[in-house]
Every structure is written in structure tokens, then in C-alpha cells.
Structure 1
Amino acid sequence: MSREEQAVAEGGRRAPEPPIHGPEGFEGMRRAGRLTAEALDLLVEAAQPGVTTEHLDKLAFEFGMDHGAYPASLFYRGYRKSICTSINHVVCHGIPNDKPLREGDIVNLDCCLILDGWHGDSSRMAYIGEVPRKAQRLCEITYEALMRGIRAVRPGGSTNDIGRAIQSYAESERCSVVRDFCGHGLGRVYHDAPTILHYVEPSYDVPLKAGQFFTIEPMINLGRPAVKVLSDGWTAVTRDRSLSAQFEHTVAVTEDGYEIFTLSPKGLDQPKPHGTEAD
């Protein structure tokens, strides 16, 4: 979600305060989150050299339909695909097309499925064949940044705890955190309160309470954090053409910490390289 969408997400249906969900919400989100994770398992395994992102988009749509779910991004604000596929220096919102994936690419696969009215939202990086070590390292740093952000979630904490954990780690590894996009609350609404920044912002700090649901989805660049959106109105790329990576989970604040709804049943949350080559 872009910063511009924070106050107007879902056509004004965004809640003024982060909704608090009960047992029904947790059960609904577990089902939606698991189904989204299963879809990403399928996509990560299918992402190979020569495969088009259009093919991956079709797989995601058919998987959702076969399981009674609908892709949240399809026709959302005019977007015409079921997933986003962001390759190499594309930060987010890459649009699937007929161009084949190439050996050495890294690609973010972002999928949100609606099941029985509940949204499961997640993304992962996939390695396309053998990838350079610098690209692998970026993906490893980004995944660790995500997990550090998740481990900072607890009732009585705040959203800046999440941003601090992500920013301090990424910058210690000489990477940068994208500021233009953020995580978001969700449940029965696709984009809801609270906004989850992946860096510290003293002027914005929301208390975390048990029953809140939201995504954490840091975008980490090898170069500078600045991005630009291309003329299609969706595709965001790094201004310096440096590599970018993103991982995303849907999480809940629980009475004693957090719960991740979108863990991979196959353990494919982290990309599994087929090999490495020199930079």
C-alpha cells in the first residue's frame, strides 16, 4: 500500500482505529492465510527460467477459483491481474506479462486471496535458476528484516517497534528501507488501519493491541531508498536501478505476542537457491 492510500484505503471504508478481532476473525484469517501460502508454494515452485509471469498469474487465478477464493488485486482500483510480479529492480506492483523469466532473476510474488470474506496477504522472493550472490544476500537480509519486525509485535508495544527492528537491521547490513510503501491492516477489508511503516517515524506511532491484524512487508534496496512509479501507474522501481526485495506476512497481535497466518505449509517462506555464481 502506498503512503497516499493510508487515509483513503478501500474508498473510505478504512476504520478510524485499528479493528479488534475475536475468535471468528482468527479462524477466518487462518483459513485465508493458509490458502494464500499454499498458492505461493505453487507459484514459487513454478517460477523457473523461461516461464512467463502471465503464466504464474493464470496459475494463481485458477488456484483461487478451484478453492472457492478470489484474488483481491483483480480489478482493484483498475488493476487487471491476480498477483503482482516484481523482478530485480522493481520494488513492488510489477504487472504480469508475456516476457519470460531469465536465469539469474529474482522475483517477488505477491498474492492476496479472499476466502469467505477474509483476506490472506503474503509475498515471497523466488530465485530464477542460479542467481548472483549479491541478490541472494539481499533476499536473505530482507527476510531477516521481516522476521525481526514480526518478533517485535506484542500487545503493549507499538508500530514503531516494528519499524525500528526492520530499519536498524537493514541499515546495519548497508541496505536501505523503502519509505513510499507500507504494511496495512486487513481482515474483511483489504486495506485497513493500522498503517505499518518499516522505519521509525516519531510522528506516527500506533499502540499494538491483541486482536489487531495487519501485514508487515518491508521492501529493502541494495542502493538508495528512492523509488519512482512508471507510466502504467502501478510498477514502482528503484531510481538508481539497484536490486530490491520484499517479503510479506499477515500477522495478528495475540495476548502474549503474535501469530503468523501465512506461513508456508511446505516451508518455502525463504527462497531455496538452485546454485550460486560469482557477482
Structure 2
Amino acid sequence: MAVRKSRIPIKSAREIDCMREAGATSAAILQALGKAVAPGVTTGEIDALSAELFREHQCKSAFLGYRGFKGNICISVNEEVVHGIGGSRKIMPGDVVAIDVGVIKNGFIGDNADTIPVGDIPEETKRLLAVTEQSLYEAIQHARAGTRLADLCASVEAFVAPKGFTIVREFVGHGVGRRLHEEPQIPNYRPSGKSPILAAGMTLAIEPMVNAGVASVRILDDGWTVITEDRKPSAHFEHTVLVTSGDPEILTARPRIATPEQMGLASW
């Protein structure tokens, strides 16, 4: 994949302020939805709650109607990797529930995701969540002016693969701003071809998607829901990040979900 630097939008100071507001709103809604995840609740009920929260926060879903998508949010359970649509599926003890929230506020988009454990989950699934979330933060550390995008992308797989998990290659992160999907594409592995150099003012949606088993996935008959080929669990974490000349700024900052300490793990 080769992406020309000139095609990656650079946000102005005013646009960055708008992105901060959209990011903070998206993070607040994601946290509220995470607290509502519980055994017996359906994915459709979580989606309905998100619609209420969008109204309360005076924003709109960035996903509803996008290329025909029928959900307010993406909600994906266990073997569902991404792009799940809320419905009648009940959340059960031991599940992991990935929630992806995109909001449009004042013409700009904030996009973020967490994977939430429901009660006691298997030890290997705890490791999956902890490794996936940490891989996001490994990548974020590369979101600095002067860094090649390929090095940011490669850092995810470099962290994940030695832990025994696999990277989903068919779906990637992306630039974000006035549109949900801007340049550049951000795979979670080193892309081939010439890679652009990051510059201050770029805003990136970095989102590792990691499987417990094989890397291969398929799409269900609804045309959206992506599942693991072997039906083993998957995890998805995402932040919208501002590239700066110094430390990256996480525009969707929120408490972490799955550090080893939080998961009760001695190590990764």
C-alpha cells in the first residue's frame, strides 16, 4: 500500500479544537455504553441506549446510514470482530463485547472502541484483551511528526505476534476528520510500498483488531458483521489520535479496560 503524504489532511487549530470536542463526546458515550453492558441485556438495547446518548450530547451517529449501515454503533460479541449490528442477541456471562462509537459533532468526527469483558472470562481471553489494548498504545507512541506511517503500523503486529495472537488484515484504521474515512489507511502490520511521513495536525483512528485463533475472517449474510473463521474470540480497541511535534494527543482519552493488572494477569 502506498499513500501519498499530500492526500493526508492537516487540520488547522480551529479544526483540531472541533476534533477535541468530537473525540471527548465519543469517549463519554463509549464509557456510558460500557457501563450498560451486563448479562441479559441485548445488543439492540445497547444500540437503543446509544441513540439516547447521541441526543443528550447533541451529536449524531457517524455510522447510522453510512453505506447502508443500520446501527447507531457497532457492537460485536465474542467471535464477531467488527461491524456488528445491535439486535436480539443477549449478552451472557463470559462474553466479550466490542463497542465502536463514532459521533459527528460540529461537523467533525470522533471515533473510538473498547472490548468489554462480561464477568469472569477465560484466562486466554483476558490475555487477548490486554495484548490488544496495549498494542494500541504501542502504535500511538509512533504518532509523532517525522515518523513513517509504516513504523506505526508495524508496531502493532510486532507486539501482538510474539504473544501468540493474530492480526486481522482485511480491515484497517484510517484518517478521520470531517469524513469518517480519510487518508491514510492504517493497517496493523507493515504495509508494502512507499510510506508517508507523519506531520503535525494529522488525525488518525488507530484500531488494532486481534484474533485469539486464526487471522482469517468472513462476513455474515447481513453484509456487515465480520466474524473469525474459526469462531474464536476477537478484540478491538481504538482511539482517535492527533499527531504533534511532541507527544501524541489522544482525542478520545478514557480509562483503560484491560491492563494485565485489571485482568488479574501476572504477565501478558
- Structure-1-length-normalised TM-score: 0.89
Alignment of 1:234 onto 2:224: yes
Task: Name the CA distance, whole Å, in 2 between partners of 1:27 and 1:110.
Answer: 22
Task: Name the CA distance, whole Å, in 2 between partners of 1:149 and 1:205.
Answer: 16
Amino acid at match of 2:167: V
Amino acid at match of 1:96: G
Task: Name the CA distance, whole Å, in 2 between partners of 1:73 and 1:274.
Answer: 30
Return closer, same or farther for 1:103/1:198 CA change in 2, 3 Å cut-off.
same
The answer for the alignment partner of 1:26 in structure 2 is 16
Task: Name the CA distance, whole Å, in 2 between partners of 1:232 and 1:202.
Answer: 32
Equivalent residue of 1:82, what SS? coil
> How large is the Cα RMSD of the aligned pairs?
2.0
For residues 187-244 of structure 1, the C-alpha deviation after alignment (integer angstroms, 9 at most, x for no partner) is 1111110111110123152211111011000101111111111111101111111211
Amino acid at match of 1:132: P
Task: Name the CA distance, whole Å, in 1 between partners of 2:112 and 2:222.
Answer: 23
Q: What stretches of structure 1 move > 6 A for 4+ residues in a row?
A: 272-276
Task: Name the CA distance, whole Å, in 1 between partners of 2:44 and 2:59.
Answer: 19
Contact in 2 for aligned 1:210/1:253 (Cα 8 Å): yes
The answer for the alignment partner of 2:193 in structure 1 is 203
Task: Report matched runs for 1:114-263 at 5 Å.
Answer: 114-263=104-253
Q: How many residues align?
A: 262
Task: Name the CA distance, whole Å, in 2 between partners of 1:222 and 1:81.
Answer: 26
The answer for the alignment partner of 1:103 in structure 2 is 93
Task: Report matched runs for 1:83-94 at 5 Å.
Answer: 83-94=73-84
Task: Name the CA distance, whole Å, in 2 between partners of 1:26 and 1:229.
Answer: 35
Contact in 1 for aligned 2:71/2:86 (Cα 8 Å): yes
Contact in 2 for aligned 1:86/1:107 (Cα 8 Å): yes
Q: CA deviation at 1:275?
A: 8.2
Task: Name the CA distance, whole Å, in 1 between partners of 2:182 and 2:17.
Answer: 19
Return closer, same or farther for 1:204/1:241 CA change in 2, 3 Å cut-off.
farther
Task: Name the CA distance, whole Å, in 2 between partners of 1:103 and 1:168.
Answer: 32
The runs of 5 or more residues in structure 1 that have no matched partner are: 8-14
Amino acid at match of 1:216: I
The more displaced of 135-144 and 248-257 is 248-257
Q: CA deviation at 1:16?
A: 6.6
Contact in 2 for aligned 1:142/1:245 (Cα 8 Å): yes
Equivalent residue of 1:163, what SS? helix
Equivalent residue of 1:257, what SS? coil
Amino acid at match of 2:133: Y
The runs of 5 or more residues in structure 2 that have no matched partner are: none
Alignment of 1:43 onto 2:30: no
Q: Identity of aligned pairs, percent?
A: 35
Equivalent residue of 2:137, what SS? helix
- Structure-2-length-normalised TM-score: 0.93
Return closer, same or farther for 1:43/1:271 CA change in 2, 3 Å cut-off.
farther
For residues 70-90 of structure 1, the C-alpha deviation after alignment (integer angstroms, 9 at most, x for no partner) is 001011111111001111111
Alignment of 1:270 onto 2:257: yes
Equivalent residue of 1:254, what SS? coil
Q: CA deviation at 1:271?
A: 4.5
Task: Name the CA distance, whole Å, in 2 between partners of 1:42 and 1:54.
Answer: 15
Contact in 1 for aligned 2:242/2:249 (Cα 8 Å): yes
Q: CA deviation at 1:164?
A: 1.5
For residues 126-174 of structure 1, the C-alpha deviation after alignment (integer angstroms, 9 at most, x for no partner) is 1112111111110000001100010111111111111221111100101
